[in-house]
Amino acid sequence: MLLRCVLKELMALKEVEKNLLLVELNGLLQTDDKIALKEITRQLHLENVVGDKVFGSFAENLAFLLEALKRGDKSSSRPVVFVLDEFDLFAHHKNQTLLYNLLDVSQSAQTPVAVLGLTCRLDVLELLEKRVKSRFSHRQIHLFSSLTFPQYVDVVRGQLSLTQDFPQPTFSSQWNKSISKLCEDKSVLDILKRNFNTSKDFRSLQSLLFLVVSRLSISHSTLEEADFLEASRLTFADSKANVLHGLSILELCLVIAMKHLNDTYDGEPFNFQMIHNEFKKFIQRKSHSIHKFEKPVVMKAFEHLVQLELVRPLDSGGVCKVQREYQLMRMMLDHTQVMEALQRYPQCPTDVKQWALSAFA
């Protein structure tokens, strides 16, 4: 964003616009040096480019590009700006050839180039090889958001308000008034505060506001705090708890059995047979005939849980030579999640609930 603004402002200068060559690369697209080189030569329109195709092998391309860069000098050739997005991925290329060469050119009296790397990793310099690092100019700009909460609310207001040049001034002033009123509302502030506490970046704010704004319609033309509540409910919902709500009673019973196993054996892995035993004990002790299922049915329910990845085998990946009943498993749920889901489960039988709570008693 910052870079875009800078480049836009630079390009607005006439002298710069005529003289600057911009090459943009992205570590996610240019996954190795070969592709990156092709992209560079294509964007620079060197002579081995015909149409949009780049000719020559990888080695030829590199020699070609270096030759081109070497021929230039400070006073006669146009400066080139390289923008490397996802810079850390470029450091994973073989030998870091591309980085070495770009930085080498930037440090020597060849074509004037500027290399701008963008990355989210703080330790990116440690990825660089020694000789590459020596050529890097060690100039870093860190963008941390050091906003305070009042500033954050101002940003929200700014994001939601309509600009001056909106065609209908009456509506826009009305709208802006309602927005600033909302920004002083207690419950809205609570939601914003929570979002602010979780993450200070603007993307998460924007995704929250997007949910808010998308609830607008012709019949509902001003934002209310209910919209914020609904949006925050959507963003803060726990994904696993939602999955638990959609389970059948039998599956829920299995989850509870697993939770008990976790409690008694302190997080040790378990297998299907153990869960089944636990479940049988429960039926014998308490339940009526409603919960008496055949073993294959229970097995099916268990497999369903495995497919939802609420339960995962201990040795993931490998070919399982063990029978399904005896394969060691782990539950991927926290206790709080289970208990919360149980509280909210629609029409949960009382005996199941009691069974779940019994461990704490």
- Tell me which residues in 141-170 interact with other proteins (CB under 8 A): 142, 144-146
- 101 binding other proteins? (CB under 8 A): yes
Q: How far apart are alpha carbons 349 and 124 in whole angstroms? A: 55
Interface of this chain with other proteins, residues 112 to 131, rule: CB under 8 A: 120-123, 130-131
Task: Provide the minimum distance between the beta carbon of 280 and other proteins in the complex, in angstroms, as a whole number.
Answer: 27
- 202 binding other proteins? (CB under 8 A): no
- 138 binding other proteins? (CB under 8 A): yes
Tokens of 311: 């339960």
Task: Provide the minimum distance between the beta carbon of 159 and other proteins in the complex, in angstroms, as a whole number.
Answer: 18
> What backbone torsions phi and psi does residue 266 show, to the nearest 5 degrees?
55, 55
For the sheet containing 80-85, what is the strand order?
21-26, 80-85, 113-118
Interface of this chain with other proteins, residues 6 to 45, rule: CB under 8 A: 15, 18-19, 21, 33-34, 44-45
Q: Is-contact 330 269, C-beta < 8 A?
A: yes
Contact partners, residue 204, CB within 8 Å, separation at least 6? 195, 198, 235
Of the candidate residues 24, 86, 100, 162, the single one contacting other proteins (CB under 8 A):
100
DSSP string, 7-38: HHHHHHSHHHHHH-EEEEEETTT--SHHHHHH
Of the candidate residues 8, 12, 47, 186, the single one contacting other proteins (CB under 8 A):
47
Of the candidate residues 237, 290, 297, 359, the single one contacting other proteins (CB under 8 A):
237
* 84 or 105: CB nearest other proteins: 105
Question: Distances in Å between the alpha carbon of 251 and those of 74, 270, 302?
Answer: 72, 16, 7
Interface of this chain with other proteins, residues 256 to 295, rule: CB under 8 A: none
* 99 or 298: CB nearest other proteins: 99
Q: How many residues of this chain interact with other proteins, rule: CB under 8 A?
A: 82
Task: Provide the minimum distance between the beta carbon of 264 and other proteins in the complex, in angstroms, as a whole number.
Answer: 17
Q: Is-contact 13 126, C-beta < 8 A?
A: no
Of the candidate residues 163, 164, 219, 239, the single one contacting other proteins (CB under 8 A):
239
